[in-house]
Amino acid sequence: MRKQPVASQSLDWCKILTRNDVPSVALTCRQYHQLLLPLLFHLFGLPPAPIQYASLTLNRYHSCKGNPPSISQYREPHVVPGSPSPDTLTMLNMAFHLTSIPRLKCTIHGGHFEVIIHQVNRLRCALQRLSVDDVELVFGPIVQDAEGRRLTPDQDVRLWTDSFGGLLNTIVRKRAKRLAIRDGAIMTKAYYHAPIAFSTSQSIFNRFTSTPFIYRATQESKYLGFSGFIRDPSLSVIAPDFPANISSQITTLEISSEIMITPPFSHWTSSLIKASPNFTTLILSNFSLLPKIWELALTLFSNCLNAAKCILTSFSLTWCSSPPKPSLIEFLHNLPNLTTLILG
């Protein structure tokens, strides 16, 4: 009689395994891996492979102590006793045969700053081996008040821009066609624009995008009021870089967060549009900006679209604070090929 595989003979002991035990056992040998991986996907809410759509909710307790390691040193930890509870991203990293997820949604729960950085780095590492077409990133609120974010040390701002900027650049290098950023206000109050009056829209655009005119709040200036904010000469180091000499395949950009509108990532957003010749759809929703920042943002988008020579055919602005009507009218006037317009 033909001998049955070891894994088939040992199904009885699987009944005593807990949810956290199964990943460890699945890594012991190839047979257990093949046997238990479908069960793991089911336990963690993932559809069976091949996966067309995956929604990941990263475990807020899957964190590291101290500052997160650099991306060159970062590796997804093995599932060992005493390690943080595995989550859906851990399961995807265990699926060695999985190379593509056409649609991916990742929700990073609100938590402390170090946890968010850690989760962003985990996702970035996972995407380096996966092919994706449609990516949606959702951020929860950070556990710190607005004052703390505004006066955050430069080191934290650099960690945030390096980690999140690296994730965005990885998505672009994977030739994704749609990118959506939702919620979250992390680091959006770490920068201020020059506190002086603007005369023309062109000067507004220059001041919004040029490094010397972006101001950083510092610990030394927190008692001096708005006029005490000093210019940060190291902003060029803090601002994220967009991949050089790359043609982005992005056709749709959905921004539902101030993160991509305000510094330091306003520069990355403008670079993405300029590098996307097939860009056709811009969706803005569910965030609030001051009228002056709206004027800056719409001017920024208009100039980027002209520089990229792409044809924007669809524009949506919903559930946002109202931009100044003259700025909005001027922005729409510069979109002669627009076929779909949604305002609400």
**Model confidence pLDDT, tens digit, residues 197-238:** 344 444 444 444 443 344 555 444 443 333 333 344 444 446
Strands 178-182 and 131-139: parallel
Closest C-alpha among 176, 177, 102, 106 to residue 138: 106
| Longest pairwise C-alpha distance within the chain | 89
CB 285 within 8 A of CB 312: no
Task: Mention every residue, 6+ apart, whose C-beta is less than 8 A from residue 101.
Answer: 51, 52, 53, 54, 92, 130, 131, 132
CB 85 within 8 A of CB 20: yes
CB 344 within 8 A of CB 311: no
Q: Is 43 helix (H, G, I), strand (E, B) or coil?
A: helix
**CA–CA separation, 122 and 142 (whole Å):** 18
- Work out the average pLDDT over 86-115: 83
Structure tokens at 236: 């060029």
**Residue of 242 and 74 predicted with greater confidence:** 242
DSSP codes, 111-175: --HHHHHHHHHHHHHHHTT-EEEEEEEEEPPPSS-HHHHHT--HHHHHHHHHHHHHHHHHHHHTT
Amino acid occupying residue 343 = L
Cβ atoms < 10 Å from Cβ of 179 = 23
**CA–CA separation, 287 and 255 (whole Å):** 9
Q: Could you report the per-residue pLDDT of 42-71, keeping only the tens digit for each?
A: 777 778 766 889 888 886 554 444 444 444
- Work out the average pLDDT over 302-316: 89
Q: Quickly tell me which residue has 């995956």 as its tokens.
A: 54
Chain centroid, CA 100 distance in Å:
19
CB 157 within 8 A of CB 190: yes
Q: Could you report the per-residue pLDDT of 116-138, keeping only the tens digit for each?
A: 888 999 999 999 989 999 999 99
What 8-state DSSP symbol labels residue 15? G
Least confident range from 108-117, 168-177, 215-224, 289-298: namely 215-224
Q: Is 252 helix (H, G, I), strand (E, B) or coil?
A: strand
What 8-state DSSP symbol labels residue 87? -
Distance of CA 333 to CAs 261, 298, 299, 336, Å?
Answer: 21, 12, 12, 7
CB 248 within 8 A of CB 275: yes
- Work out the average pLDDT over 106-125: 86
